[in-house]
Amino acid sequence: MTDAAVPHGFVPTSTSWTNAYRGWILGFAGQEESRRPVLLHTETSGFSWSRRAAPQVEVSEFSGHVRVHAMTERDLLVTNGETVFATHDGATHWHLVELAEAGNPALVGDLASNEHFCYAVVTSGDEETRRTRLLVSPVSESRWEPVTGIEVPGPAGGSVVATGGAAFVALGGGGVAGRYWVSDNGTDWRESTPPCAEPYVATWLTVPPADPSMVFALCSYQADQPPGHTYKDLKCSLGQGEFRTLGRAPAPGISRGLAVSTPLSVVVSSVGGGFGFLFRSTDGGREWETALRQEPPMFLDLDFQDPVHGVVLRGSGTGRHGAVLRTFDGGASWQGLSPG
């Protein structure tokens, strides 16, 4: 990568990869008064980078994390949690997305995409009408609309995961009982037994790379744990059956992510007690090890592209601090990925 590709003082806020070789890093460069968004792209697994046009996104005090989500190499989303930008020509041109019927104010939560559709968990409305629901758009165009029936009242949390033609979404937490829906083709949905039904449990969903036959869920809740600690129950649904508990990840930290490289290899990210953690299991959740323990900021954008390649952002998500880490052994070890 040339010096011109990465401006001085570049700090990553998010990373998203379409496969083990092609990935994107979003961040900011410059001083406070002149800070500007920067978008980088690699087709060589991070060995070389090119700079692409970035939308004029700013950090939102309301939501924090400034994210990029790559649906394909041509179709990307960038959001600060309040506004959403989209490109459908490989980041040559960007436009502001209108989330149909979302209402204001709107908080954009989890994002996911499969071969045909992109999904967003969005909370919107005033105190009397606020609700959390799933919105969907074709990958190749910005035409967002709510999915009928997939919503819960209030400012609940949510997690959505999609692969191939399938998609899975869980909504709830924050005092709202959990609910869960499944689609085989991305358009026809049916409700199923939720992995985390209790109203004060946060849910994280993931699937092994390119394998919709197994859905993993992390049910995270504090209960009687001390501050900065949570129960982290790992569950799995096989063949779209009911979720069964596989094990429990270590208690330190508040959960921030879940990723699975193979049906037996699981990584959980959390932050608390002055440290960020990556906990790893290689036997399907029965035994755990601490793959990485570092002082904050937290670990974000945890994801695997195949059984051995994965990424995570160690940072604030706002451009104050940030570094992209890469694994080439399924999460056993992590190395800094320097775009400069």
Per-residue pLDDT of the chain (340 residues; tens, 9 = 90+): 444 578 888 999 999 999 999 999 999 998 777 789 999 999 999 999 999 999 999 998 877 899 999 999 999 999 999 999 999 999 999 999 988 666 666 899 999 999 999 999 999 988 888 999 999 999 999 999 999 999 999 999 999 999 999 999 999 999 999 999 999 998 999 999 999 999 999 999 999 997 889 999 999 999 999 999 999 999 999 988 899 999 999 999 999 999 999 999 999 999 998 999 999 999 999 999 999 999 878 999 999 999 999 999 999 999 888 999 999 999 999 999 988 6
Structure tokens at 237: 């649904």
Residue 33: φ, ψ to 5°: -75, -15
- DSSP for 69-137 reads EESSSS-EEEE-SS-EEEESSSSSS-EEPP-TT--SSEEEEEEEE-SSEEEEEEEES-TTT-EEEEEEE
The DSSP symbol for 320 reads S
Q: What gap in Å lies between CA 262 and CA 216, rounded to an integer?
A: 11
- 219-230 per-position pLDDT tens digit: 999 999 999 999
* Every domain of the chain and the residues it spans: 1-96
* Chain-centre distance for alpha carbon 144: 19
